[in-house]
Structure 1
Amino acid sequence: MTITTPVGPPQRRGLLLRMLPPAVYTGRARALLERSLLVYSRVWMVFLSGAVEPLLYLLAFQIGFGRLVSEVVGPGGQPMTYVAFVAPALLAASAMNGAVFDATFGVFFKFRYQKTYDAMLATPIGPFDIALGEIGWAVVRGGLYAVAFLGVMGVLGLVESPWALLLVPAALLVSFAFAAVGMACATFLRSPSQFDFIQLAVMPMFLFSTTFYPLSVYPEPLQYVVQCLPLYHGIEITRGLSVGVFDWSLLGHVGYLLVLAAVGLYGTARRLAGLLLR
């Protein structure tokens, strides 16, 4: 004799979730944001680490090197001071640094050593929630760096257009793209020593993505290489917004970063699903 247990709404919902692919569990990423906020509220001084280096660069150019180079050609062919040329690029780099740090170092230790995500998957949270929540917190961190940097630009008199207020959303987009790709890369790392590969990618981008000089200084073949770098597109957006110069290429830069963010988010979710639920 077979006894059939009635299946109520909670049971049906559980059966439906188990039937769906793990990477499409959504709706609970906010829990990871709340967790990160509670954790970092006790160690808030760590936020200074990613903001100090670009600020020191900015002050160095304002006090020293900026006195040697008076003007450069900025977006739209209009002249601008060298410090005003470099400042929006350093803002984009600051957003990149904040996002990459959280999405790689933090994620790696939670994933490989603390087993935080294994514990989360014992709850209704799924791999896509983990990816979206961690990337979301990295975006918040990059945005905080951008707000602080924009404030310093204002104090130094480097905000030349009301459109500069859009630098914060632009920095959030840069953070989103780098956090998504960074977290996907972090799932491939197997030891802390392999973080050298992350630095090997980030440092050349910081130095050569037209951060300190325009694209025209490169030979033509190298210009195509530089234009493939994600930070280059972020810098073009922030530099244009800082002086209020808009053209159709701005949409191309935004589209590049949006596609990169979408690919990184999808790749992260699939990697987490494959590694944690196998």
Structure 2
Amino acid sequence: MNAWRLVSRNALVYRREWAVFLTGFAEPVFYLFSIGVGVGALLGGFEVDGRQIPYAHFVAPAMLATSAMNGAIMDATFNIFFRLKHARLYDAVLATPMTTRDIAMAETTWALLRGGIYSAGFLLIMLLMGYLTSWWAVLALPACLLIGYTFAGLGMWATTYLKSWQDFEYVTLLLMPLVLFSGTFFPIEALGGTLRWIIEATPLYRGVVLCRELTTGTVGLASLVSVVYLAALGTLGMWGARRRLDALLLT
């Protein structure tokens, strides 16, 4: 499969840059220990689907979803922009039998692998700390791969519209509120009206809810809704990214 050749190329590049590769993993871990464990010692916890859970158990699955997002979005935005606009890697790739479809699939796959590694590492931390309280948690890693797929597709699509490195200020401006307000540190029931509806429509919120349901054993019909919604957004992003790559590289 042609796409795997580009995936292998990315793996070779990062073989000597493993420290850079792991930078996105550290942030959710720091949040877990500083806020989930530290602040959690001062709080009684929150009610989730009629069950009272400790605050750290509430925050941990949210940081798990954030790990998946971080791993995918870093490669789908900053790195793809560099390869597209500066290294001109894709121009060289298209001189081979590979197509823009192969490029989109390869970069999404690589972003998924990075997000999956982050998620697996974070799941191990949760397991060692006793934050996995249900057998449904075995599906948490596939759920994180789905979250990564969503952000990889949407991130790649958005990146094709960026003109310069300064435009990444908008990416940061979007990601920070997502991390803080997607039901990560407090239930969004505390917010009302239109703001709550907007948050519920964001992919990170759907990912946080899905991971929390799986790790606490509160799986229901809403979990399936989250899965379908995330898959649809990721597929839409992939479709849009491929069309934009066609426009940028084939015209």
- The question of a shared fold, defined as TM-score above 0.5 by the shorter chain, is answered with yes
- Work out the CA distance in 1 between the residues paired with 2:247 and 2:47: 49
Deviations 1:70-125 (A, max 9, x none): 22102x21110000001000110111111111000000010001010000000000
Within the alignment, does 1:225 sit opposite 2:208 as a pair? no
- Work out the CA distance in 1 between the residues paired with 2:129 and 2:225: 31
Contact 2:84 2:90 in 1 (8 A): yes
**Partner residue of 1:34?**
8
Match of 2:175 among 202, 205, 215: 202
Match of 1:256 among 226, 229, 247: 229
Alignment of 1:237-248 (within 5 A): 237-248=210-221
TM-aligned CA deviation for residue 274 of structure 1: 1.0
TM-aligned CA deviation for residue 59 of structure 1: 1.0
TM-aligned CA deviation for residue 63 of structure 1: 4.0
SS in 2 for 1:64: helix
Gaps of at least 5 residues in structure 2 are: none
- Work out the CA distance in 2 between the residues paired with 1:54 and 1:213: 16
Match of 1:61 among 35, 42, 54: 35
Within the alignment, does 1:147 sit opposite 2:114 as a pair? no
Deviations 1:108-157 (A, max 9, x none): 01000101000000000000100110011001100100001011111211
TM-aligned CA deviation for residue 61 of structure 1: 2.9
SS in 1 for 2:53: strand
SS in 2 for 1:235: helix
**Partner residue of 2:248?**
275
SS in 2 for 1:132: helix
Within the alignment, does 1:48 sit opposite 2:48 as a pair? no
TM-aligned CA deviation for residue 47 of structure 1: 2.3
**Bigger Rg, structure 1 or 2:** 1
Counterpart code for 1:70: G
Counterpart code for 1:153: M
In the superposition, relative to structure 1, how do residues 63 and 205 fare at CA in structure 2: closer, same or farther (>3 Å)? closer
Match of 1:193 among 154, 157, 166: 166
Identity of aligned residues (%): 43
TM-aligned CA deviation for residue 62 of structure 1: 4.7
TM-aligned CA deviation for residue 35 of structure 1: 0.9
Deviations 1:210-258 (A, max 9, x none): 1111121111332211111111100110000001111111111111111
Compute the TM-score of the two structures, normalised by the length of structure 2.
0.97
SS in 1 for 2:131: coil
Q: How many correspondences in the alignment?
A: 251
* Segments of 4+ moved more than 4 angstroms: none
Match of 1:177 among 126, 150, 159: 150
